[in-house]
């Protein structure tokens, strides 16, 4: 049977894959596993529950809260706040765990349930597997005074805002930022954070109605923000996704500054200020080759992980590092957060613009983006990639042809009959030619019949 938990919690179509019944049962299973330590210590577990503003979040959150409270867990309902805010609050108040109801950058019909352990950290696979196994166990059935309570976490957003502002050592006065809040969880707190830090703020995507989250706005749809930056004369723009755990940027010229470029400019700035732990950055294997080249030029080591912010987090913790992230805009500042935080990232970009007196375009120029071509080869035996000698030989020849001026990466999909072929080179036509040749070979070697 397939695993219930995916790369970032449990995801699916709300009302079909994620129902009130399944959400309640999942919460009861989580109460058994994540509340175990508190019960062993003779105290009642406490959980923070939050959501993004998509319409299905209301019934799912209610079901989660019911499942927890009926299992003897005291619930603090933080309402609509960003995912990184939920993680922060778990750590800030010393809660036993947290639950975030969100499907991030996905459209409104989707939703998801993710859990945070003590300290606001993502769950390891083994604990997720325990929760899944607990779904077959008898739920806790406390009665009387042992039943959990559900209370409103009244100052949740204010606590998070104070935390964000506390990461800044400069005023943002004189900066003009355009914000795209994706009609999502950032709509309330992101404009407040930038304004309270002193910036002039022009806002879009800040009118969530439950069904417009991520619709033609946010970090996956940058066109409107680009126009807003130009029309408003903003110094730069920040685009969040639905739960505000990521951000991408637009410079004053209308050019996109992606997660790799954001990591590059922040890593260089932090090294210069003596704030980059061990002068090392963490990124995934999908980051652009230009990031590695830029880090080499500035004497910064690069640790690369598998794709997924959880692997970036693991590497940050394992090696005691302070900065890492993904090309998609999940940037993690381990000194300040336990997960990607799009608002924190935007504030740190703005702070560096102020400190340096340079534009975002100038800061981002620290990295040259290599042309990257990605070809998804579907209908193939993804597991057959490993050990296929003709493909391995072809990759070796391509790498030899590119030398230090390019890169080849073949990755099997985690769930589909698909292999992803990615090639980077100094010239796009070279990358395209090699990618298409490798894709054709993968299709011949690994094709499967229906």
Contact (CB, 8 A) for 184 and 213: yes
Kindly list the distances between the CA atom of residue 49 and the CA atoms of 206, 231, 281, in Å, as whole numbers in the listed order: 22, 39, 32
Round the CA-based radius of gyration of the chain to a whole number and report it.
23
Name residue 47's beta-bridge partners: 75, 97
Contacts of 367 (CB under 8 A, 6+ apart): 260, 261, 264, 265, 288, 290, 291, 293, 294
> Active site residue: 70, 71, 102, 104, which one?
104
Contact (CB, 8 A) for 69 and 27: no
- What is residue 97's three-state secondary structure? strand
Is 287 in the active site? Answer: no
Contacts of 158 (CB under 8 A, 6+ apart): none
Name residue 111's beta-bridge partners: 12
Phi, psi (5° rounding) for residue 114?
-125, 155
The token pair at 364 is 């981002």
Contact (CB, 8 A) for 439 and 431: no
Q: Which of 223, 222, 157 is nearest to 191 (CA)?
A: 157
Contacts of 377 (CB under 8 A, 6+ apart): 418, 419, 420, 421, 439, 442, 443, 446
Burial (CB count within 10 angstroms: exposed 0-12, middle 13-18, buried 19+), residue 190 = buried
What's the rounded Cα separation, in Å, for the pair 434 and 424?
9
Phi, psi (5° rounding) for residue 173?
-55, 135
Contact (CB, 8 A) for 183 and 215: yes
Contact (CB, 8 A) for 394 and 400: no
Name residue 46's beta-bridge partners: 74
The token pair at 148 is 């959990």
Contact (CB, 8 A) for 38 and 72: no
Q: Which residues are catalytic?
A: 104
């Amino acid at each position: 049977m397939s695993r219930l938990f995916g790369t970032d919690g449990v995801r699916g179509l709300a009302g079909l894959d994620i129902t009130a019944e399944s959400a309640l049962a999942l919460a009861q299973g989580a109460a058994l596993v994540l509340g175990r330590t508190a019960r062993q210590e003779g105290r009642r577990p406490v959980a923070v529950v939050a959501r993004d503003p998509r319409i299905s979040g209301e019934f799912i959150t209610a079901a989660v809260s019911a499942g927890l409270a009926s299992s003897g867990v005291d619930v603090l309902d933080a309402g609509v706040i960003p995912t990184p805010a939920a993680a922060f609050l778990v750590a800030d108040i010393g809660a036993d765990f947290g639950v975030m109801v969100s499907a991030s950058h996905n459209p409104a019909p989707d939703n998801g349930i993710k859990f945070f352990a003590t300290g606001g950290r993502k769950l390891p696979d083994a604990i997720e597997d325990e929760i899944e196994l607990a779904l077959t166990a008898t739920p806790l059935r406390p009665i009387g005074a042992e039943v959990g309570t559900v209370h409103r976490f009244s100052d949740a957003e204010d606590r998070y805002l104070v935390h964000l502002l506390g990461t800044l050592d400069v005023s943002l006065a004189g900066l003009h930022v355009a914000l795209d809040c994706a009609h999502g969880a950032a709509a309330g707190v992101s404009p407040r954070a930038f304004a309270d830090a002193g910036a002039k703020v022009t806002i879009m995507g800040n009118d969530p109605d439950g069904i417009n989250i991520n619709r033609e706005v946010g970090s996956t749809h940058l066109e409107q923000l680009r126009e807003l930056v130009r029309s408003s004369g903003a110094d730069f723009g920040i685009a969040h996704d639905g739960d505000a755990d990521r951000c991408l940027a637009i410079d004053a010229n209308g050019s996109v500054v992606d997660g790799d470029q954001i990591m590059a400019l922040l890593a260089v700035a932090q090294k210069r200020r003596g704030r980059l732990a061990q002068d090392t950055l963490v990124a995934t294997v999908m980051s652009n080759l230009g990031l590695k080249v830029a880090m080499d030029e500035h004497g910064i080591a690069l640790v690369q992980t598998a794709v997924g912010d959880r692997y970036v987090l693991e590497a940050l913790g394992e090696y005691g590092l302070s900065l890492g992230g993904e090309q998609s805009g999940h940037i993690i500042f381990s000194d300040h957060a336990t997960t990607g935080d799009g608002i924190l990232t935007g504030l740190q970009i703005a702070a560096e613009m102020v400190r340096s007196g340079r534009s975002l375009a100038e800061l981002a120029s620290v990295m040259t983006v290599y042309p990257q071509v990605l070809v998804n080869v579907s209908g193939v035996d993804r597991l057959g990639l490993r050990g296929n000698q003709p493909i391995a030989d072809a990759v070796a020849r391509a790498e030899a042809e590119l030398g230090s001026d390019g890169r080849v990466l073949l990755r099997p999909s985690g769930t589909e009959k698909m292999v992803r072929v990615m090639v980077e080179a100094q010239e796009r036509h070279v990358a395209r030619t090699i990618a298409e040749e490798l894709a054709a070979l993968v299709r011949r070697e690994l094709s499967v019949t229906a």
